[in-house]
Structure 1
Amino acid sequence: MVNAAKAQGIPATEAATVNAPIFYEFAKVAVGFAIALVVAEALEIKGDLKNLEKRSKWPMARYFASIVSAVAIFIFSYGIVPKMKELQPQIKTNASVKAEFDKLHHVSRGVFSAAIVFALVSLVIPVLGPGRHME
């Protein structure tokens, strides 16, 4: 959204200020989905203990990908976003705060991208893996 605003001539700091409330709420929604993912995988593991005991590679890879995705969301939502929220009011007036905010924003993109990639991996493995339980 910030890039689209910049393309229309709106300064990045102004676009960030306007979009910040959406970003903060999105972090909360992402945590909700991460918790749902962990709960769903826990229920799946409970029903699929034979593959877990055999350490079948496909289910283990799926569970690992899901856990990494959830951890990345928790880092994003509880480690990065609160600090960005704290800094955001000062990015227009303090260059060092803006630099720190920009660094956190860059890190947040990488962490959130990792969450998406690992979530997609956990969704694709059952489709590509052999059989229903990927034995």
Structure 2
Amino acid sequence: MKRLLYILIVFLMSGICFTSCRSIKYVPVETVRIEYKTRDSIRFDSIYQRDSVFLLIKGDTVYKEKYKYLYRYLTINNTDTVIKTDSIQVPYPVEKELSRWQKIKLELGGWAFGIALSLLFVIIGNIVYNRKIKKGG
């Protein structure tokens, strides 16, 4: 009978140890986010514009000549790169809400631990009491 009681106690204690809460797991979060944007711009540096009208009179004939020239000598192609760095984020633990069954197990776990301790004290007290009586003490 005592052996069955000891086996039952060991079984209950191992059940309490193996069904404990998990450790906190961290969710990986980006530490630094870098964003690159490029902008191309084409500019004309030197622009010469010439616009003229000539009138030429020869006898009774009038010659009218118009011309318009636009010279673009230098073309500048700029590529600007803008680097934007966001702030550093810190990882934080994510805890999910416990289900009803898990809440009950947590509450009953405290009671079971108290019962197991009181049962252990009763068994130890019983052993000490029986040894004193057997020795005649």
Q: TM-score range by the shorter chain?
A: 0.3 to 0.5
Give the greater-gyration-radius structure (CA): 2
TM-score, normalised by the number of residues in structure 2: 0.36
TM-score, normalised by the number of residues in structure 1: 0.36
Structure number with higher helix proportion: 1
